[in-house]
Amino acid sequence: MSEEHPDPDLAFALQVTGFELATEPPAPGTPLARILAFAAEHGYESLTDEHFDLARLGLL
């Protein structure tokens, strides 16, 4: 486990579940990048479940 993570409990939970905390922006063209771009333009409060579905399909 990395000693650089400020929260060892979170680092352990992420490790045992197979996840890691990203420190860089998502790659362009990914669903998460599309969601973040939409939210930056329209505000996070305007996101709906449909937006996430569209992002996964590459239509957002």
pLDDT recorded at residue 20: 81
- How does pLDDT run across 3-51, given as a tens digit for each residue? 566 788 888 898 899 988 788 899 999 999 999 999 999 999 999 999 9
- The answer to the question of residue 31 being in a domain is yes
Position 5 scores a pLDDT of 62
Residue 36 lies in a domain: yes
Confidence of residue 57 (pLDDT cuts 50, 70, 90): very high
Contacts of 14 (CB under 8 A, 6+ apart): 20, 21
**Would you say residue 3 lies in a domain?**
no
Domain containing residue 31: 24-60
Q: How many domains does the chain have?
A: 1
- Torsion of the alpha carbons at 34, 10, 18 and 16, rounded to the nearest 10: -170
